[in-house]
């Protein structure tokens, strides 16, 4: 039995001029809730991968290009008059990295070289930077690797790297660099210089020039600590990867090919992503899985299913190869290293232990690009072919369709669905009850959602908000309460997109904003509501009887795995504070609970601006004590989001839905 709906409780309702709500959380009924209720979604949009969570500091480190974004020398500037040219040598560094940079002396004297401007700057601190570069050509002498101001030339740190280069071969040089002082801002460059008099043939070729600051959990070529920490604070439970539109790619030949994202970095060609720039594939499948490991996340791995964003899709007769490609990907992730082909490949790239994958999503938003023909093909053969093949080989994996029952599809068993929603706050509030319609047979992931424009906004080309804003965050919170009330049918929820580099972005409304300087990393208003909800995990929901209909107060209640009682609530469209009386059935006088209330600025359009550092979200925490009848009394203001969690366990019996038991 699900918690009572507004309609079911209407009989109990009595008119109240101040919207007071008397809530009683029942000790019986309810249902188990998904352990994955709040998660993360990521794809390389708005330089959120390269130049974002992937901590590489060097922009265009390996001159990767494509038909759409040809290789170039963007980000590289000559030092001391050096001549830099892009070359496609007969002996490239690797098949994946065919282009390199030739550096030749001109008339000037002294050391020459090149500098890199980074992804709109570089953060320089007194910490250890790990660097490497490949050189081809004979050079006797030392290279100097340095970090300096792009404004003043002030050098913060440098290191000499003795040349090991030899004729005709690419030689990798590794170094560490510890600046002796921190830079006052992020407008800095990284340079490599050398003495041209030691160069035999007048020039040297360089490729894969890399520099990493310390990374999260010190993973080599890993992720940015400040961004990972901001994610970790949300207590997320899953990561949906690798997108999003990026998975789909632009065309039938340009999409996220997992097998090209693994192994040595010099063997990853990168791709023209769908957001207007080339990506390196440095943040590849293994790095995504390590991200999951480091934050304890369940991976939800999306596989390419034949649809690209140009609307074209693979004909049925040719699709089998991509079904196999997806099966190979799953085998790469989960297969035994000794007995499976792709498990052995995983071991060869440093991960002998298989990962556990419980969720595989088939494509992304197949209802959108190329509809109706592409969607018809999804319904008719693409989705069924993937479901059949994956469930036959991996019966324990929950396959997920990239569309949900709300997208005009009957999803074949045993697949679940995925629902995406980018709307205005009112729409989210009105959707509070929509997941009550889900049956046990149509579990759904909410794989992307965000309030993106204000009420009455006219959509993508009109009133998109510049950042997540408080009124939007409250609308989203109510949508999430509606999802969590149905936690046995909702696999999980994730805000999207998660990240935006403030220097080049395609999507303004994201969970976190950042730039090269970690001090600019900004937690949005939505981040605060998600941190509150994500850190109070309901493992079982319980029915709530109320004398008030839903609105302006919305809520869900349940118990944590420890047995404490939890109420999550939000207030929207109220003219006054909402007095709440809350009793967990069986609780008695003197019981205590912690109440956390988030409120926003007076102006509901207020947002957390990375440039002002003003946090518009106010959090108050108080201890509330149950009165004579065991009820907690408190009031919640207009546009507030709150969680109450009891300090002691509460009674609850017979948790499972009748239909689940049957």
> Which chain residues interact with ligand AHR by CB under 6 A?
43, 45, 243-245, 364-365, 448, 496-497, 507
Cβ proximity to ligand AHR: between 42 and 268 the closer is: 42
Comparing C-alpha atoms, which of 135, 138, 159 is closest to residue 148?
A: 159
Cβ proximity to ligand AHR: between 249 and 299 the closer is: 249
State the nearest-atom distance from the C-beta of 525 to ligand AHR, in Å: 18
Cβ proximity to ligand AHR: between 287 and 448 the closer is: 448
State the nearest-atom distance from the C-beta of 458 to ligand AHR, in Å: 18
Cβ proximity to ligand AHR: between 416 and 548 the closer is: 416
Cβ proximity to ligand AHR: between 391 and 494 the closer is: 494
Say which residues have a Cβ less than 8 Å from residue 461's Cβ, sequence separation at least 6: none
Measured distance CA(162)–CA(158) in Å, rounded: 13
State the nearest-atom distance from the C-beta of 526 to ligand AHR, in Å: 13
Comparing C-alpha atoms, which of 629, 608, 626 is closest to residue 617?
A: 608
Count the alpha carbons within 13 Å of 364 in the hemisphere toward its beta carbon: 25
On whether the CB atoms of residues 140 and 107 are closer than 8 A, the answer is no
Q: What is the CA radius of gyration of the chain?
A: 27
* Residue 225 host element (H or E): helix 225-232
Comparing C-alpha atoms, which of 392, 391, 397, 404 is closest to residue 363?
A: 404
* Residue 188 host element (H or E): strand 188-194
State the nearest-atom distance from the C-beta of 332 to ligand AHR, in Å: 23
State the nearest-atom distance from the C-beta of 40 to ligand AHR, in Å: 12
Cβ proximity to ligand AHR: between 195 and 365 the closer is: 365
Torsion of CA 300, 303, 308, 311, to 10 degrees: -80
**Unique residue bearing structure tokens 């998904």:** 34
Cβ proximity to ligand AHR: between 124 and 374 the closer is: 374
Measured distance CA(294)–CA(336) in Å, rounded: 22
3-state secondary structure 127-181: CCEEEEEEEECCECCEEEEEEEECCCCCEEEEEEEECCCCCCCEEEEEEEECCCC
Comparing C-alpha atoms, which of 357, 254, 607 is closest to residue 465?
A: 607
Say which residues have a Cβ less than 8 Å from residue 185's Cβ, sequence separation at least 6: 121, 151, 517
- For ligand AHR, the nearest residue by Cβ is 244
State the nearest-atom distance from the C-beta of 468 to ligand AHR, in Å: 13
Cβ proximity to ligand AHR: between 221 and 277 the closer is: 277
Cβ proximity to ligand AHR: between 364 and 521 the closer is: 364
Assigned token pair, 336: 């035994």
Phi, psi of 129 (to 5 degrees): -100, 135
State the nearest-atom distance from the C-beta of 72 to ligand AHR, in Å: 26
Cβ proximity to ligand AHR: between 365 and 547 the closer is: 365
Cβ proximity to ligand AHR: between 473 and 544 the closer is: 473
* Residue 327 host element (H or E): helix 316-334
**241 secondary structure, DSSP code:** E
For the chain, report the end-to-end CA distance as a whole number of angstroms: 12
Cβ proximity to ligand AHR: between 29 and 249 the closer is: 249
Say which residues have a Cβ less than 8 Å from residue 414's Cβ, sequence separation at least 6: 387, 391, 398, 399
State the nearest-atom distance from the C-beta of 275 to ligand AHR, in Å: 8
Burial of 650 (C-beta count, 10 Å sphere; 0-12/13-18/19+) = buried
Tell me the residue length of the chain. 662
State the nearest-atom distance from the C-beta of 431 to ligand AHR, in Å: 17
State the nearest-atom distance from the C-beta of 459 to ligand AHR, in Å: 13
State the nearest-atom distance from the C-beta of 393 to ligand AHR, in Å: 27
State the nearest-atom distance from the C-beta of 53 to ligand AHR, in Å: 15
Measured distance CA(532)–CA(477) in Å, rounded: 10
Assigned token pair, 412: 């074949």
Cβ proximity to ligand AHR: between 98 and 244 the closer is: 244
Phi, psi of 653 (to 5 degrees): -135, 155
Assigned token pair, 625: 């004590």
State the nearest-atom distance from the C-beta of 361 to ligand AHR, in Å: 11
Cβ proximity to ligand AHR: between 483 and 496 the closer is: 496
């Amino acid at each position: 039995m699900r918690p009572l709906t507004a309609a079911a409780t209407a009989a109990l309702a009595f008119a109240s001029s101040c919207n007071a709500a008397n809530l009683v959380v029942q000790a019986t009924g309810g249902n188990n809730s998904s352990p994955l209720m709040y998660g993360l979604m990521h794809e390389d949009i708005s330089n959120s991968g390269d130049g974002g969570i992937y901590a590489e500091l060097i922009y265009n480190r390996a001159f990767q290009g494509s038909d759409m974004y040809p290789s170039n020398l963007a980000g590289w500037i000559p030092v001391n008059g050096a001549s830099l040219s892009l070359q496609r040598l007969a002996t490239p560094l690797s098949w994946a990295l065919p282009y390199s940079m030739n550096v030749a002396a001109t008339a000037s004297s002294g050391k020459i070289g090149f500098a890199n401007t980074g992804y709109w700057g570089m953060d320089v601190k007194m910490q250890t930077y790990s660097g490497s570069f490949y050189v081809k050509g004979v050079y006797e002498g030392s290279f100097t690797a340095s970090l300096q101001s792009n404004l003043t030339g002030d050098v913060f740190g440098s290191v000499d790297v003795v040349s090991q280069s030899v004729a005709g071969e690419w030689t990798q040089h590794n170094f560490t660099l510890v600046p002796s002082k921190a830079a006052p801002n992020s407008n800095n460059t990284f340079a490599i210089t050398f003495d041209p008099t030691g160069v035999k043939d007048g020039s040297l070729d360089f490729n894969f020039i890399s520099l990493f600051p310390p990374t999260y959990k010190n993973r080599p070529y890993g992720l940015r600590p400040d961004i990972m920490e901001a994610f970790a604070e949300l207590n997320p439970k899953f990561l949906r990867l690798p997108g999003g539109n990026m998975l789909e790619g632009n065309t039938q030949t340009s999409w996220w090919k997992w097998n090209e994202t693994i192994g040595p970095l010099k063997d990853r060609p990168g791709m023209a992503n769908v957001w207007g720039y080339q990506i390196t594939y440095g943040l590849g499948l293994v790095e995504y899985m390590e991200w999951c490991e480091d934050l304890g996340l369940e991976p939800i791995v999306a596989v390419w299913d034949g649809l690209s964003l140009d609307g074209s899709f693979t004909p049925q007769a040719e699709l089998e190869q991509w079904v196999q490609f997806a099966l190979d990907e799953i085998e790469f992730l989960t297969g035994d290293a000794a007995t499976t082909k792709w498990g052995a490949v995983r071991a060869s790239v440093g991960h002998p232990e298989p990962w556990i994958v419980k969720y595989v999503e088939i494509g992304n938003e197949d209802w959108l690009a190329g509809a109706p023909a592409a969607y018809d093909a999804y319904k008719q053969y693409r989705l069924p072919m993937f479901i059949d093949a994956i469930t036959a080989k991996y019966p324990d994996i929950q396959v997920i369709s990239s569309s949900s029952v709300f997208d005009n599809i009957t999803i074949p068993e045993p697949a679940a669905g995925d629902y995406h929603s980018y709307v205005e706050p009112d729409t989210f509030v009105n959707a509070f009850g929509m997941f009550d319609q889900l049956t046990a047979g149509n579990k759904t992931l909410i794989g992307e959602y965000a309030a993106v424009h204000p009420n009455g906004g006219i959509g993508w080309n009109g009133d998109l908000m510049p950042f997540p804003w408080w009124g939007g965050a409250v609308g989203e919170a109510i949508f999430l309460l509606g999802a969590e009330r149905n936690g046995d049918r909702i696999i999980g929820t994730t805000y999207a997109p998660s990240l935006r580099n403030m220097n080049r972005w395609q999507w303004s409304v994201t969970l976190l904003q950042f730039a090269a300087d970690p001090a600019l990393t900004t937690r949005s208003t939505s981040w605060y509501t998600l941190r509150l909800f994500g850190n109070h995990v309901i493992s079982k929901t319980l029915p709530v009887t109320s004398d008030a209909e839903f609105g302006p107060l919305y809520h869900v209640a349940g118990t944590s795995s420890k047995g404490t009682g939890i109420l999550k609530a939000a207030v929207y469209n109220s003219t006054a504070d909402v007095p709440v009386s809350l009793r967990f059935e069986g609780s008695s006088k003197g019981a205590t609970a912690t109440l956390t209330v988030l409120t926003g600025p007076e102006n509901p359009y207020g947002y957390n601006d990375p440039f002002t550092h003003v946090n518009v979200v106010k959090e108050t925490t108080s201890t509330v004590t149950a009165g004579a009848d065991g009820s907690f009394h408190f009031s919640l203001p207009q546009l507030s989001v709150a969680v109450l969690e009891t300090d002691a366990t509460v009674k609850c019996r017979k948790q499972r839905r009748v239909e689940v038991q049957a």
